[in-house]
Structure 1
Amino acid sequence: MSKSFIDKKSKLPLYKQLKILLMRYIEENLSEGDSLPIESEIEKLYGVSRATVRKTIDELVSEGVVKRIQGKGTFIQSKKIVQTAGAITSWTEEMRLRGKEIHTDNTLLLELEPSQKIREELKLSPNEKVICLKRTRYSDGEPIAIMINYMRGKFIPGFLEKGLQRESLYETLEEEYNIRLEKAYERIQARVATDLEAVELQIPPESALLHLTRVSYLKDGTPFELVEMSNRGDRYHYHIELNGRNKIKHIN
């Protein structure tokens, strides 16, 4: 197994970080029927406890990714990729967990009058403005996504003057403004790239994109941020974990 790193300062639980790294290793190196490295090897490589390793593997078993065979080991059952729902992670954090080299280009930061869509999504007051942060995000030297964050300026005084202090916006919000996002809703749609997006992402015109819209909320339920992210369809995969089915009540 290649060396990857667990970020012990991250808000994401260790077992969830380990799950992301193991899924990446499975996707890139193993086939169905291959054996997963033994628990002691995973524990040593990633610097986590045996309990963390077992909790992670338990989740992979429950999701049908691997199966345990008594006396033989743990084997790959399916190469599906699962991103666990329920945790808000930044793009920077996700890429770091996957061992990617990241950087940002074409950064634009300004205050603007919100469109009607932004005003409705963030439930803004009539005269309230937003701070817009637009970036092109690179992974291993390749442009992957165009990200635009619209944030309510009244919650982040001085942000426009100081700018982004770290690679991760969410780290800046947490460290500089004590803003922690507690809930978010996302919508995803497939579309083709505009001419400008094609230039920024270095792809042919009208290439496939996955467009994500996210509204993030503070602890008290106040909408704080609207994110519009256009991801290259040939480089970005979005995976969602679904649990069970809602029962429909029939009224006779």
Structure 2
Amino acid sequence: MITEAAKPSELKRANSTPLYVQLKNIIREKISTGEWEPNDVIPSENELSQIYGISRMTARSVITQLVTEGLLYRVPGKGTFVSEPKIEMSSLSYSGIRNQLENKGYKVETKLLDVTKVKCDDFLAKKLGITPGAEVFKINRVRSANGTPISYHKSFVPAELCRDLDQYDLANEQLCKILSDQCSLTPGKVTETLESYLADGPKAEILGVKPKFPLILLQDLISTSSGVIFEYTRVYFRGDKITLKIELNTQ
């Protein structure tokens, strides 16, 4: 809880570091040390400008940047609050999203939006190494942690490799486990690409954010040890909820 008695850190005006950067660092430190806890309301723009002797425009700019980064969030009519810590996750090639979240103690829910059999276009055909027009299963799911949507998954699997895929429990069972146990499709190689993405209308609605909200797009292309590509998945993570950690062993 933020108290009025807490003595603010001072901005060093003789320092070459810009004042707005100093203020950002002060706020970051208050959050990281626990002085400002998740869901605490922080001082308003007017209060910050008075406390630190800066313009309201500078205070607003700093808050806006930290909101964009996910450290703070705004509630219209109520103020600006400290966000819950981001969930740190590793590459999906090492452990699935559900396993990682459950191992961290989160209550995980997967909602199956739909599973349909469609004819693939040229883009999907090239990704999956199959003929354009061949049938693929399209699986759309949204995953939540402690009741908050954090990721939207679009997966494509060639129908000829797992003909009864739509008959399995895709909401409560991990797709990778179903493909392995029921269709003998075990990953031998995983190719991942990572990029930033601004949410369009449908994805924003699914994830409970505004259009153009910053997302992290992770694309997985998975094949067997013999080179048969059996899954292409696009995962859209909320940028304010997830941090992806990638470790490389150089030994």
Distance 1:109 1:92 in 2: 19
Report runs of 4+ in structure 1 exceeding 6 Å deviation: none
Distance 1:179 1:145 in 2: 24
State whether residues 213 and 229 of structure 1, in contact with CA within 8 Å, keep that contact through their aligned partners in structure 2: yes
State whether residues 215 and 225 of structure 1, in contact with CA within 8 Å, keep that contact through their aligned partners in structure 2: yes
With over 3 angstroms needed to count, the CA separation of the structure-2 counterparts of 1:177 and 1:82, relative to structure 1, is: closer
Match of 1:98 in 2: 104
> Higher Cα Rg: structure 1 or 2?
2
Distance 1:158 1:105 in 2: 20
Q: Which moved more, 1:116-125 or 1:170-179?
A: 170-179
What residue ranges of structure 1 are gaps of 5+ in the alignment?
Answer: 1-29, 32-80, 246-252
Match of 1:239 among 234, 238, 245: 245
Match of 1:159 in 2: 165
DSSP 3-state at the match of 1:125? coil
Structure 1 residues 221-236: aligned runs within 5 Å: 221-236=227-242
With over 3 angstroms needed to count, the CA separation of the structure-2 counterparts of 1:166 and 1:176, relative to structure 1, is: farther
1:52-105 Cα distance to aligned partner (Å, 9 max, x none): xxxxxxxxxxxxxxxxxxxxxxxxxxxxx784x694422212212222111122
Q: Percent identity?
A: 19
RMSD: 2.4
Q: TM-score, normalised by structure 1?
A: 0.60
Give the C-alpha shift of residue 212 in structure 1: 0.9
State whether residues 88 and 183 of structure 1, in contact with CA within 8 Å, keep that contact through their aligned partners in structure 2: no
Match of 1:149 in 2: 155
DSSP 3-state at the match of 1:100? coil
Distance 1:140 1:146 in 2: 15
What residue ranges of structure 2 are gaps of 5+ in the alignment?
Answer: 1-31, 34-87
With over 3 angstroms needed to count, the CA separation of the structure-2 counterparts of 1:183 and 1:201, relative to structure 1, is: same
Number of equivalent positions: 166
- 2:214 is the alignment partner of 1:201: no
Q: TM-score, normalised by structure 2?
A: 0.60
- 2:217 is the alignment partner of 1:217: no
- 2:142 is the alignment partner of 1:136: yes
